[in-house]
Structure 1
Amino acid sequence: MDGLKVSEAELLVYLHPSKSKNVSHAIFDQLSSMLFKYNETFDGVLLAYGASTNDELAKILPGLIPCFGVRLKAQLLLFDPKPNMILGKVVKLGGQSLHIVVLGFSSATIIDEDIREEFDYKVKHGKEMFVSSVNKRHKIEIETVVRFVVKSFDEETLHISGSLLQPNTGNVNWLDKYADEELVESNNKKRRDDHSKVTSDGDRIKKSKKHRSSHS
């Protein structure tokens, strides 16, 4: 999924000597405490991890507070929503904004000025939705999974500011199922228009020749 990346890292974890009897458990406890938080070292929000180590690498470190360091290799699954396409589910919408949840923990908001003009806010049978004036089948409502562009990401609150101004954003189901159909239909219409123009031009040429013949 967009916004996710896998990173391999070599880490040095510091543990209290009381944890020496079960180093693996202590390491996973420490890594677990970092889950769903933005980490500057990892440059992303840690969603999952896998780690391996060798207890023989543990080394007692001098200092006021005794501890020992354990080196480990880790695979990290990170959420890193750089300005790019990303998916999320609409949980609330109104005439001025869309509210989206990404991966079940990060929130996103798309305000009116970042929703392209083709989308009109409507209420049908008590249901709020945005409907495209270009294609009525392209709708955005509660529970719709949308593809949008990340404008900015607040690392402290894990909140995203998004945009639907780009033509390849909107309802993912519609984009995947109907966008190609729309392109084919558009190309077919263009060919029909071109054919009609050629036929019309041809008829005018024939009429012109006939007109000249009748006067010769």
Structure 2
Amino acid sequence: MEGLSISDANLVVYVHPSQSKNVRMAILRQLSTLLFKYNETFDAVVLGYQFDILDKTAKILSGIHPYFGVRIQAKLLTLSPKPDMLLEGKVVKLTRDSIHVIVMGVSSAIIAREDIRGQFKYRHKHGKESFVSRSDKHHVIKEGVVIRFAVKR
């Protein structure tokens, strides 16, 4: 899928001395804080990671709490959608003014009314909401369907 990439990163993870008995678990906790949030450093949303500790020795940082830095090499699976890129997502909610979509089962996107093509008309019938094409009545956007859309920003 477009926008997905695997990046190699050399990182330093700072670990509190109280977590020194299980450094690997401390690193996992730190890396988990990156998941499913936009990260400016990577210019993407981090979806997954895999890492190896590069050096068995750590540098102790001076200060109030003497954290120590552990050098790791990580492979990061990232999603970085750019304008005009095509993405696919499952429709999870419809309103008169928007279509709410889950992309790759993890990231949410909203398509605002002004971005929905003019050929679609909003319909609320029998408690179900949908957008129906004016030219082809069988072309319907409703909850549960997968749609392809272009990224605006």
Paired position in structure 1 for 2:16: 16
Deviations 1:31-53 (A, max 9, x none): 11222222222222222110001
Contact 1:2–1:87 (8 Å) recurs in 2: no
Identity value in percent: 56
TM-superposed deviation, 1:19: 2.6
Is it true that 1:92 corresponds to 2:97 in the alignment? no
Q: Structure 1: give runs of 5+ residues left out of the alignment.
A: 153-216
Compared with structure 1, are the counterparts of its residues 57 and 95 closer, same or farther at alpha carbon in structure 2 (3 Å cutoff)? same
- Higher share of residues assigned strand: 2
Deviations 1:103-152 (A, max 9, x none): 34433222222111222223455533222233333221111111111222
Query: Who is 2:139 aligned against?
Result: 138
Q: Is the 8 A contact 1:23 1:55 kept in 2?
A: no
**Alpha carbons 1:3, 1:82 under 8 Å: kept:** yes
In the alignment, the residues of structure 2 paired with residue 54 and residue 100 of structure 1 have an alpha-carbon distance, to the nearest angstrom, of 39
Shift of 1:6: 1.6
**TM-score, with normalisation over the residues of structure 2?**
0.83
- Structure with greater contact order relative to length (CA < 8 Å, sep ≥ 6): 2
Matches within 5 A, 1:103-122: 103-122=104-123
TM-score, scaled to structure 1: 0.62
1:36 and 2:11 aligned: no
Structure 1 stretches (4+) deviating beyond 6 angstroms? Answer: none
**Structure 1 counterpart of 2:77:** 77
CA RMSD of aligned residues (A): 2.2
Q: Summarize the Cα distance change of 1:19–1:150 in structure 2 as closer, same or farther, 3 Å threshold.
A: same
- Higher Cα Rg: structure 1 or 2? 1
Residue segments in structure 2 that go unaligned for 5+ positions in a row: none
- Structure 2 vs 1, CA of residues 114 and 20 (structure 1 numbering), >3 Å: closer, same or farther? same
Give the Cα separation in 2 of the matches to 1:39 and 1:123.
Answer: 38
Deviations 1:149-192 (CA, angstroms, capped at 9, x unpaired) = 1222xxxxxxxxxxxxxxxxxxxxxxxxxxxxxxxxxxxxxxxx
